[in-house]
Amino acid sequence: MTSSNHTDSEGSGEALDEATVERLLDQAELASGHAYAPYSKLSVGAALLMPDGNVVLGCNVENASYGLTMCAERNAIFRAVAEYGHEAKPTALAVAAPGTPIAPCGACRQVAYESNPDMLVVFRSEERGLERISARDLLPHGFTFEPSP
Ligand SMILES: [Zn+2]
């Protein structure tokens, strides 16, 4: 099987211009408006840029059984798999929580890494303002597993 929709940059978001990054952050912030976060009160949104230029949104969805809560980033990535299949590698992931610096949690870093280690991840951190980093650099020594044939 051959994959389609790959650009010559192999899905790397390194070359994304500032306008695209800002647009993704705005979309992530808008998506946070759909968050269901009655427990943490922290509404988070994610915007995932796909190779065809479309954007897949996600938000955090909490549950009274706290362990069942799902982050915005993983919701967006899992939704993209459902819509595009796993072969379509996202180009960039923006994460935003209005008024609050936010960074992807460890679980979301692992899922982003497996989705596309070259994907650009952008978010606003307290220490350094706007962060632009690849999923690979965001999760050094990410877990990989090659199933037996
Ligand atoms: Zn997370």
Give the domain CATH number at 65.
3.40.140.10
CA of 111 to the centre of ligand 1 (A): 9
* Domain assignment of residue 87, yes or no: yes
Residues of the chain with pLDDT under 70: 1-14
Within-domain flag for 99? yes
Q: Is residue 3 part of a domain?
A: no
pLDDT at 3: 39
Ligand 1 centroid distance, CA of 15 (Å): 25
Distance 101 CA to ligand 1 centre (A): 14
pTM score of the predicted model: 0.89
pLDDT number for residue 126: 85
| Positions marked active-site | 73
Query: Is 1 within the bounds of a domain?
Result: no
- Structural domain for 25, as ranges: 18-137
Q: How far is the CA of 69 from the centre of ligand 1 (A)?
A: 10
CA–CA separation, 106 vs 37, rounded Å?
19
In a domain, 9, yes or no: no
Residue 7 lies in a domain: no
Q: Is residue 2 part of a domain?
A: no
Q: How far is CA 119 from CA 13, 21, 61, 65, in A?
A: 5, 13, 24, 32
Q: What is the pLDDT of residue 5?
A: 37
Number of domains in the chain: 1
**Order of strands across the sheet with 92-96?**
55-59, 45-49, 92-96, 120-125, 129-134
pLDDT given at position 1: 36
Is residue 108 assigned to a domain?
yes
